[in-house]
Chain A
Amino acid sequence: MRVGRSLPYVFLGPALLVLVILAAVPTLYAVNLSLQNRTLSAPQAEYVWLANYLKLFSDDRFLNALWVSLKWEVLTVSATMAVGIGLAIAMFEAATRRWRMILSVLFIIPVLLPRVCAAFVWKFSFHPLYGAVTWPVRALTGQTPDVLAHPWGAMLTVAFVDVWQWGLFFAVIILKLMEALPPQPIEAARIDKAKGWEIHRFVTLPMLKLPLISLLLVKAIESLRSFDLVYVMTRGGPGVSTETLDMYAYSQGFIEAGNISYASSMAVIMMVLTVILFTSIWKRLNK
């Protein structure tokens, strides 16, 4: 017997074990919770089976949260991809090597900031009375525009901060992908007299189709983590116009009712939706 055959087991085993426990226990626990009628205040509970789920589908606020989450996903994912691709092409076409480096470092910064910080930075910038962004409007019209008080304004503003963090970061990644492409097809397109945008429309972007779809999926996954931004900037308001699923689950479970079982049933639905959806898409992509 040669030494060291044990390495794969010793190295992979513990990590897998820990991850499986950390993933399985809360998941099963959430399912179990969702079948009861537990609240934060009362320790006793009994099984109500699917009652929570049935209640969910007649809960207008839940359906609203579902709709808000969907809007949020579509808005942030598409805007992030557009900004990322646009800025990447701009850097590819118009920036020297040196400037690409500088811009890359700069564009990475927002995504590394705590989302709480990003939220505060922009919340203050959009402040109706003291904000720097709103200042020109104040100076010119004398009005005090409060974008966060308007349903669509709030949604767009929060989405803007999300894209500020992710779109710029994606621009850097897409630029690196473009730089890694073989130059011959681009040169061939130049010789065939393709214009700047045509080269990207017909050569570079189609060549990057798979990595771009993967990025889109990554963003779709990360967009689910909108809680910090929404919590700091709007708390789901005005009204429930920016109340995403996680925000609603949080307020059901902690703030308003302490209704953990009800919140758990929402969590389970989110888990099922995202895990099944993303797993199937991801597996199909990487086949």
Chain B
Amino acid sequence: MKLSTLLLRIVLACAALMVLLPLLWTLLNAFKTNADLLVNTPKLIFTPVWDNMQYVLGRRSVARALTNSLVICSSAVAMGALLGVPAAYVIARVKNRLTREAQFFALSLRFLPPVAVAIPMMVIWLGLGFYDTRFALIVTYMTITISITVWLSIPAFERVPIAVEEAARVDRLGPYATFFRVALPIARPQILAAIAFSFILVWNEFLLAMMLSTSKARTLPVVASEMSQLGMNVPWGVLNAAVVLLSLPPLILLAVAGAGMNSVFSRKSTQD
């Protein structure tokens, strides 16, 4: 093996460890008592305890935040998919000035600084009496989910060969049937990945959630961040446990979507 290859592999190994070690370390820390955790020399060998997990899972605020996160994210993602996927199909299929502008508009919403959305949104929801409700967060999050779903679904539909849709028309399918029975099933893996990604985005969202809720509609990331303010000492064991729990859904989605994407890539597409 050449020296340069060896060096590059060492770099890659370091990068891989930079991902793995902090995550594994956090996972271990989640099962340590504070006595094992808050020590000068980090401990590898210790007696794992469930206390932190139990504390996190047992708190009413966490249970409520979990429900909030699930309800808010699922609703916003469902609305995003419902409105965004069909819109992406039109943008992918009908090429004219309006659809080009629509495509760019969907992207440009990402240019908006979140704080610039959060401040007026807060005043608006306060005025309408919806401040600190799931409804307010769902509607606000739809900006994110619709635009991301549109943006990521367009290439998925563009990859569906137009001739297949024409064959469907010859086989007596109308435009709607063509979408539901042909285009959507063919593009499904990438569409699902797009939807999964939009879920991860809103699941991880922090600023809007913090500014648009105070107690009732608090989501998990906000509640997790608040745990560092419990009492005088930062409860690091509990925090590590919260981090682990909060990170699970995106990782599970990655595993599921990754498996889906892999099955798409491994089947070599001969149709172009």
Is the CB–CB distance between B41 and A135 below 8 Å? yes
Is the CB–CB distance between B12 and A87 below 8 Å? yes
Known contacts A11-B89, A267-B115; decide if A124 and B40 are in contact (CB<8 Å): no
Is the CB–CB distance between B111 and A8 below 8 Å? no
Q: Which of B18-26, B49-57, B60-68 contacts A (4 or more CB under 8 A)?
A: B18-26
- Interface residue from B23, B38, B94 paired with A121 (Cβ < 8 Å): B23
Minimum CB–CB distance from B100 to chain A (whole Å) comes to: 10
Is the CB–CB distance between B243 and A112 below 8 Å? no
Interface SS, B side: helix
Is the CB–CB distance between A227 and B143 below 8 Å? no
The answer, yes or no, to whether B112 is at the interface (CB within 8 Å) is yes
The answer, yes or no, to whether A188 is at the interface (CB within 8 Å) is no
- Interface residue from A129, A139, A278 paired with B108 (Cβ < 8 Å): A278
Minimum CB–CB distance from B31 to chain A (whole Å) comes to: 15
Known contacts A116-B224, A225-B114, A263-B119; decide if A87 and B11 are in contact (CB<8 Å): yes
Mask of B117-132 contacts with A, CB within 8 angstroms, 1/0: 1011111100000000
Residues of B within 8 A of A91 (CB): 12
Is the CB–CB distance between A139 and B41 below 8 Å? yes
Is the CB–CB distance between A14 and B83 below 8 Å? yes
Residues of B within 8 A of A27 (CB): 112, 116, 120
Is the CB–CB distance between A4 and B174 below 8 Å? yes
Minimum CB–CB distance from A149 to chain B (whole Å) comes to: 15
CB within 8 Å of A: which B1-44 residues:
4-5, 8-9, 11-12, 15-16, 18-20, 22-23, 25-26, 29, 37-42
Minimum CB–CB distance from B79 to chain A (whole Å) comes to: 8
Is the CB–CB distance between A112 and B251 below 8 Å? yes
Known contacts A4-B175, A124-B29, A168-B15; decide if A249 and B8 are in contact (CB<8 Å): no
Residues of B within 8 A of A113 (CB): 204, 247, 250-251
Is the CB–CB distance between A7 and B105 below 8 Å? no
Interface SS, A side: helix
Mask of A91-128 contacts with B, CB within 8 angstroms, 1/0: 10111000100010111111011111100111011010
Residues of B within 8 A of A15 (CB): 83-84, 86-87, 146, 150
Minimum CB–CB distance from A42 to chain B (whole Å) comes to: 13
- Interface residue from B11, B143, B240 paired with A22 (Cβ < 8 Å): B143
Task: Find the A residue at minimum CB distance from B84.
Answer: A15
Known contacts A196-B4, A267-B119; decide if A8 and B90 are in contact (CB<8 Å): yes
9 pairs of A and B residues whose beta carbons are closest in the complex: A4-B175, A15-B87, A267-B116, A11-B86, A94-B8, A29-B120, A246-B115, A114-B204, A15-B83
Contacts A19-B147, A114-B204, A246-B207 supplied; 10 other A-B pairs, CB < 8 Å? A15-B87, A15-B150, A29-B124, A30-B116, A105-B258, A106-B16, A109-B251, A130-B38, A168-B19, A271-B113
Q: Which A residues have a C-beta under 8 Å from some C-beta of B? A: 3-5, 7-8, 10-12, 14-16, 18-20, 22-23, 25-27, 29-30, 33, 38, 86-87, 89-91, 93-95, 99, 103, 105-110, 112-117, 120-122, 124-125, 127, 129-130, 132, 135, 138-139, 164, 168, 171, 196, 221, 224-225, 227-228, 231-232, 245-246, 249-250, 253-254, 260, 263-264, 267-268, 270-271, 274-275, 278-279, 282-283
